[in-house]
Structure 1
Amino acid sequence: MAEMNCYREVLPFAAMVTMECVNVGLNTLFKAATSAGMSYHVFVAYAYAVAALVLLPAPFVSRSSRVLPPMNFSIISKIALLGIIGSSSQIMGYTGISYSSPALASAISNLIPAFTFIFAIIFRMESVALGRTSSQAKLLGTILSISGAFIVTLYKGPPLIISSNSSITLHQHLHSTKNSNWILGGIFLTAEYILVPLWYILQTQIMKEYPAELTVVFFYNLSVSIIGAIVALITEGTSSAWVVRPNIALVSILCSGFLGSCLNNTVHTWALHLKGPVFVAMFKPLSIAIAVAMGIMFLGETLYLGSVIGATIISIGFYTVMWGKAKEEVGDDGDTASPESPEGPSVTRLQGCKVTRSTGLGRSRKALICT
């Protein structure tokens, strides 16, 4: 029992916290690599190809270790669609980071729960009843998250912290930031985090049909690397952009391939299968503080007032959505139970379910009936 509790509760929590740290570190490393001239289109193709190469034995291992349904056309087509969504979101995200910063990416990433909620309503995975507290909380949190994203994107504000590791003066820094397009970066990042909830929803559906995390992630990485290579050939041609020298670019590709495309996607797929998309989304606000600290320490970036205000509003909206979701799961106003009936078996009512208790032959029996 203790081992099962550790597997279902402690291990997913520790894994998701670790992955948020890894993601921010990889974004910071990517920003440093693109600042040195690396093409992010080529980066996507190489990083996912590395991950696919690492996971190459996965289909054989998964098939030999468990009984799995056949890999039919329906599953393959859904994985291909997952690859299109994933490659598009990665290209959008890396483009946004190249125009802005990892800190902005982490702040806007908190839009994921809001967009997940919107898409869940569209796909009829969530219902909204305006008279219920949980629905009101989720709607309010969604509005707050989107409002915060607009503030982060459109309002930069005065600088609050300038890294002491940066060798440039305040005047030079303010002049150099004009060369970057903060608003355009925010638009690309927002587009990425519109696609990520679609990735979550489709990935969860695929895992229900084919519950083999490593195999699904292998085919996903393979499809993204192929799509990324096609896009890179269109945008970069056969230029020298494909040549990766043994510098920060190579380190970034290898780390993103092993830790990002391979490990991160595998852990997220496992967590989605085990705990669901809401649990995975809960850890996004953690990335804000990590990204700001890494950006200041390693990239010499500046912390702006607009980022602090917007990220705070987004986080409040995020946790409002999470609170509404949690309240919905236990039942609005805490009325999860009804008084026991004096006649016959006692009944405790849950949302759409009832737990019946009966006694007979000296034993107490329980049954959960859901409608």
Structure 2
Amino acid sequence: MEGRARGSLPFVGMIMVVLAQAGNMVVMKMAMSDGINKYTMVFYCNALSSLVLLPCPLIISRRSGSCPPLTFAVLCKIFLLALLGFAAQMCGYVGIDYSSPVLGTAMMNLIPAFTFILAIILRMEKVNWKSWSTQAKLVGTITSILGAFVVTLYRGPPVLRSPRPPSVQPHRRLPFLLLQQSNWILGGFLLAAQAFLLASSYILQAFILKEYPAVLNLMFYVMFFLTILSGLLSFITARELQSWILKVNVGLIAILYSGVVAVAFGSTLGTWCVKRAGPVYVSMFKPLGIVFAVGLGFLFLGEMLHLGSLIGALVIVMGFHTAVWAKSKEEEKAIEGSGVGGSFASSSHDTPLLQNQASSV
């Protein structure tokens, strides 16, 4: 019973992570529609996250005595992880500015495919194409991606109108009418690039956590490097003093939410889930984000709820449930075969990289 409860923790954690990320896309869209500079906003968010995580390497690890040595080789890998994260951040913010949170979360459905392909290439994921569980994972992932395309490409008649007035201009929030416009296409390419960069970062996280399993310390160093990188870009692109002045408006709320909830909490929790369950398991939750984005956009951006959104959300949930169910069956079978209990890990039990780490967070 205790092993089952421990195994459910990554599931609950990833639900919280996806909800935090979907909410971040919505508040960032509101802030950018209100006129805040996207580059300075990224810098402030990263700086705030670094401050929130600062006590981790100074207090928590020293008190527990579980902090592994930080070698130069590990530090270089952490910097590379921060570089991937910074590139993903910029692609995501600019892509959402050109499109919408719904398209942003829809493109995140490419992450499971990218992660799965990279994991197979690097032999981090064991694949048995004749196994029903592998086939179920593939069917579930493909179904979720198809559901995301339904949400993005088919709007259908309006089912329910939002109680809030639209917070962005109609031409910026109607994906169906923008499929042929250059900004929308550019936003889609940037968001697809973000999905690939995030998938690559999940793989790299798994490698780093093998050598340096202190999740909170790892995230602090990542956010520290992100702050430096985003600060350099902001000073180059935003030279007007007005771009750096914060006001008590939706921009400040977006920075506080993104820095504390989405990045400091969400990214750290997501890294812990990578450590416990592996990058493929974590990536399977991304299709669920579009369900949250549609609902949050309805409540806070004044977007109407259309039939296509409802149908696509239902398809996504079905695919997501199928993939996670197949993954859980793989783990139960592996646990029964080994005769030991434990939490969800990657299906690659022959590969030590993705096995469950016993060290503490």
- Is the 8 Å Cα contact of residues 107 and 314 (structure 1) preserved in structure 2? no
Q: Are the equivalent residues in 1 in contact too, given 2:84–2:197 (CA < 8 A)?
A: yes
1:15 matches 2:17: no
Give the letter for the 1:216 counterpart: L
Q: Which residue is 1:104 aligned to?
A: 103
| Residue aligning to 2:259 | 257
Residues 58-91 of structure 1, C-alpha deviation per residue, up to 9 Å, x if partnerless?
Answer: 2122134224332111110111111111111122
Whether 1:56 and 2:58 are equivalent positions in the alignment is: no
Matched with 2:22 is 24
Structure 1 pair 271/143, CA: closer, same or farther in 2 (3 Å)? closer
Q: Give aligned-pair identity as a percent.
A: 44
| Conservation of the 8 A alpha-carbon contact between 1:111 and 1:145 | no
Moved more, 54-63 or 217-226: 54-63
Distance 1:280 1:250, change over 3 A: same
Point out where structure 1 has 5 or more consecutive residues left out of the alignment: 338-350, 354-371
| 1:184 corresponds to | 186
1:46 aligns with 2:44: yes
Distance 1:10 1:325 in 2: 12
Q: Which residue of 1 aligns with 2:345?
A: none
| Alpha-carbon distance between aligned partners in 1 of 2:163 and 2:11, rounded to the nearest angstrom | 34
Letter paired with 1:30? M
Instruction: Note closer, same or farther for the CA distance 1:161–1:183 as it changes in structure 2 (3 Å cut).
Output: farther
Distance in 2, Cα, partners of 1:269 & 1:41:
25
**Secondary structure of the structure 2 residue equivalent to 1:294:** helix
The Cα offsets for residues 86-143 of structure 1, whole Å up to 9 and x where unpaired, read as 1111221222222232233333323322221111112122244444434444444555
C-alpha distance in 1, partners of 2:190/2:235? 21
Q: 1:316 to 1:113 in 2, by over 3 A?
A: farther
Alpha-carbon deviation of 1:257?
Answer: 1.0
TM-score for the superposition, normalised by structure 2 = 0.78
SS at match of 2:202: helix
Residue 47 of structure 1: CA displacement?
0.3
* Runs of 5+ unmatched residues, structure 2: 339-347, 351-361
Give the structure 2 partner of residue 345 of structure 1.
none
Find the residue that maps to 1:166 and give its secondary structure.
Answer: coil
Match of 1:224, SS state, is helix
Contact 2:100 2:173 in 1 (8 A): no
Query: Contact 2:40/2:234 (CA < 8 Å) preserved in 1?
Result: yes
Structure 1 residue matching 2:198: 3-state secondary structure: helix
Task: State the Cα distance separating 1:280 from its structure 2 match.
Answer: 2.9
Q: Deviations over 1:314-336 (max 9, x none)?
A: 5555455445545555669xx96
Change (3 A) 1:31 1:262: same
State the superposition RMSD in angstroms. 3.5
Kindly report which structure 2 residues correspond to 1:1-371, keeping only aligned pairs within 5 A, or say none: 2=2, 6=5, 8-61=6-59, 62-141=61-140, 143-144=142-143, 147=146, 152-153=151-152, 159-166=158-165, 173=170, 177=174, 181-304=183-306, 307-308=309-310, 316-322=318-324, 324-326=326-328, 328-329=330-331
Segment drifting more, 302-311 vs 283-292: 302-311
Higher helix share: 2
Question: Counterpart of 1:53 in 2: which secondary structure?
Answer: helix
CA distance in 2, matches of 1:246, 1:139: 46
Give the Å deviation of 1:53: 1.3
State the TM-score, normalizing by the size of structure 1.
0.76
What is aligned with 1:363?
none
Cα 1:326–1:54 shift into 2, 3 Å: closer
Distance 1:274 1:64 in 2: 23
Output the CA distance in 2 between the equivalents of 1:175 and 1:262: 29
| CA spacing shift, 1:75–1:176, aligned 2, 3 Å | closer
Letter in 1 for 2:99: S
Contact map agreement 1:114 1:145 (CA 8 A) in 2 = no
Q: How many residue pairs align between the two structures?
A: 334
Does structure 2 retain, via aligned residues, the 8 Å contact 1:112–1:193?
yes
Larger radius of gyration: 1
Q: Which moved more, 1:106-115 or 1:32-41?
A: 106-115
Q: Secondary structure at the match of 1:300?
A: coil
2:8 and 2:325 mapped to 1: Cα distance?
21
The question of whether the paired residues in 1 share the 8 Å contact of 2:119 and 2:280 is answered with no
CA contact (8 A) 2:106 2:152 kept: no
| Larger mean Cα displacement after TM superposition, 14-23 or 129-138 | 129-138
Could you say which structure has the higher strand fraction?
1
SS in structure 2 of the partner of residue 292 of structure 1: helix
Match of 1:360 in 2: none
Structure 2 counterpart SS, 1:203: helix
Deviation at 1:49, TM superposition (A): 0.6
Give the C-alpha shift of residue 305 in structure 1.
Answer: 5.0
Partner Cα distance (2:152, 2:118) in 1: 22
| Alpha-carbon distance change, 161 to 25 in structure 1, aligned in 2, over 3 angstroms | same
Contact 1:153/1:187 (<8 A) preserved: no
Which structure exhibits the higher relative contact order, with contacts defined as CA atoms closer than 8 Å and separated by 6 or more residues? 2
